[in-house]
Amino acid sequence: MTVNTFNGSPSQQALAAEIFRLMTAQGVLFAADAPIRQTLTNLTDFLASRQQRTPDDVAKEIDAALQANEQVFTREEAEGQVTFVTSRLGAYVPRIEDTSHTFKQRLYEPENPLPIDDISVVVSTSRPALTTVEPVFISDYWQRQAGLMPVLPDGETEDGVEAPMIAADAEETAPVIEVAPVEEAALVEEVAPAVPATSSTVLTLADGLAIDLRRSVDELMAEHGAVLASRLSSAIDNDPLRRIVSFGRQYYLESALASMGKNDMRRIRDEIVEQGEPLLDTTLIANLYYHNPRQSDYEGFRFSLNYRLSREKDFEFVGVQGANLWSTKGLPTIGTKRVKASEMAQLAAYLEEGFDDSLEIQTAESIHETGSANRLLTFFEWEYGILPLDANLKALLPPPLLPDQRSAVLRVESPQHYTTYLVEVRYPTGNRGGWLQGLEEFFHEHLVPGALITLARTPEANVFTISYEEAPPTEDRLLTLDEKKNKLAFANITYYCAVDADQVVNQQRFGRLRNLKSFPMAERRKSEMMLEHVVETLGEPAGTREQPRVRFNVNDVVVGCNVLRPMSRSYILSLITNNDDFEADPANEGVYIFHAEVKDTRSSGDDDEEEDVVETRPMRRGGRYADDDDE
């Protein structure tokens, strides 16, 4: 092409010819009819710097010269950006694909179809030796021939519509829920259901629920988000071809997953075992695969890693939403070994039975708003470092991410002492309760039973903080458990934390608790037996030899029962009211009478002091004996 083929003034022709040479040089490796695009801004910057002129004047000249040659340059404008398109042939003409006669039509819509009485004529009834019936594709044409679909009016076609998938021997066709197409390179957090191609703007679901699609997306999701998400998840899960797979709340094309073999699984397991604790998916990718979050395929590879690990029996997901942690066999146990998981699940079962009163002091709304929860430590919680997963903690801690997830591992930091602890959250299953364990060392080092602690969220989904109110040193004779003798006793302890005076298990008020039997954990699940034993130990004899009775205050019994096992006040009151051996004292509120034969095992706080004390030296912060200089 020469300058004489361009239109306009001589200067415009020369400018157009120069730009044409620049653009064809840019697309020298393109196909002859392929589009070559260049923005007006780029052309202006190049020529203005070359000619040492102002960009505004050059831009006007370029725009005028190229518009005068519309037969060579096509002008496009989008979002304020002007782009010129040409090709090596001199003008770009978009390709028009002829779909008037396709292989699909020749295959599925013959000119002279055979008459059929049954759909089995189209699909062979013979099947390969498979454990499940494989679905087959049957075109709409043959389904209309068999009467399974309504016949379209004359002249109306369904070009571009996929044939629904049915089983060869199916008697009824299951409803198909269409899913919006997913890009291969993009990780899908939420997939919107496709709008059916009908003239109506109201979508009616199978259960009769009508959804007006003219409303905004925010309004639809606020009112019907849960229903739409459930229907979408069900449609994806019921897809026999498993074209879309899920991990938690994320969906991804199965064909786009990164390939991982047994060698990858071995490397990941060795890395977790070597570190000695569960690891984040981002940590595994950085240590083993050296992927950078700025890479375009990072999120896709991350999803592939989590999905592959979720299908391996050697790995267990212990993360939460926003923090995908993975554990494997061979890691150290988190928390105490003195209480088995099966035993603790039974001890906390009362929470799932409706006897959870942990939100009476602090509401769930307050916990969600402030991001922190307060609670008083009982003796059992302090001794074993275990917190029952009541409504107070459920409002603070993240829920499980996967349907079959049984536990999660969190990191709890103490800003007052610059220490960090791994904590395991066991979620409730069925009628068995949940709990949190792993804080035994922190409790024994810095706190005593009756202390007020605060658990709070942090910007990281799996990291929390624990704190308490510090107070001047206080020395008291507090209840302790002698592990060697398996016996409860009182010892001099110096602590530096604020406590609730009514919940501190000291000898002055609860001296008789040293007579409690330290039952095995398997026995402690018998709540009625534990209640009667505590009542007999703490109560005052109030009857005669012929009719022995024990009078007790329910507040003291609540403290005493929580020495042996977790029990809420409402649960204890339920056991009392449903037992005929208990009756309320009409003269005193909160006082009850127990009809049972008891032995007088009373012991004052001052009598037999040498037998009560395990160690007469003062102890500091609940677990360490003070030095002689400190005394």
Is the pLDDT confidence value at 629 over 80?
A: no
**Residue with token string 């030899």:** 545
pLDDT at residue number 132: 52
**526-555 mean pLDDT:** 89
pLDDT at residue number 614: 40
Q: Which residues pair with 426 in a beta bridge?
A: 407, 435
Decide if 441 contacts 616 (C-beta within 8 A): no
The 3-state secondary structure of 540-551 reads EECCCCCCCEEE
**Identity of residue 85:** V
Residue 131 CA to its chain's centroid (Å): 34
Closest CA to 389 of 425, 338, 439: 425
**250-279 mean pLDDT:** 93
Give tens-digit pLDDT for 123-168.
Answer: 554 555 555 555 666 777 777 777 777 776 655 555 444 444 434 3
Decide if 13 contacts 3 (C-beta within 8 A): yes
Decide if 619 contacts 445 (C-beta within 8 A): no
The secondary structure of the chain in percent helix, strand, coil, rounded to multiples of 5, reads 30, 20, 45
Closest CA to 596 of 561, 558, 550, 533: 550
Give tens-digit pLDDT for 469-508.
Answer: 999 999 999 999 988 888 999 999 999 999 999 999 999 9
Give tens-digit pLDDT for 565-588.
Answer: 999 999 999 999 999 999 998 888
Q: Which residues pair with 489 in a beta bridge?
A: 480
Give tens-digit pLDDT for 169-223.
Answer: 433 333 333 344 434 434 444 444 444 444 467 878 777 788 888 888 888 888 8
CATH number assigned to the domain covering 257-328 = 1.10.10
Report which of residues 517 and 483 the model is more confident about.
517
Q: Return the sign of the alpha-carbon dihedral for residues 569, 571, 577, 583.
A: negative
Distance CA 254, CA 311 (A): 14
pLDDT at residue number 166: 39
Is the pLDDT confidence value at 458 over 60?
A: yes
- Boundaries of every domain in the chain: 3-86, 257-328
Distance CA 434, CA 358 (A): 14
State whether residue 336 is helix, strand or coil: coil
Closest CA to 425 of 408, 404, 401, 413: 408
pLDDT band at residue 619 under the 50/70/90 scheme: very low
Closest CA to 322 of 216, 249, 235, 271: 249
Closest CA to 167 of 119, 204, 98: 119
**Identity of residue 20:** F
Other beta carbons within 10 angstroms of residue 27's beta carbon come to 17
pLDDT band at residue 1 under the 50/70/90 scheme: very low
Phi-psi region of 394 (alpha: psi -120 to 50; beta: other; left: phi over 0): alpha
DSSP character for 619? E
Is the pLDDT confidence value at 324 over 80?
A: yes
pLDDT band at residue 97 under the 50/70/90 scheme: confident
Is the pLDDT confidence value at 107 over 70?
A: no
Q: Which residues pair with 326 in a beta bridge?
A: 279, 317
Is the pLDDT confidence value at 90 over 80?
A: yes
Distance CA 349, CA 563 (A): 17
pLDDT at residue number 306: 95
Q: Return the sign of the alpha-carbon dihedral for residues 339, 341, 346, 349.
A: positive
Decide if 473 contacts 495 (C-beta within 8 A): yes
Residue 219 CA to its chain's centroid (Å): 25
Q: What is the CA radius of gyration of the chain?
A: 38
Residues 6+ apart with CB under 8 A from 422: 277, 334, 409, 410, 411, 412, 438
pLDDT at residue number 136: 60
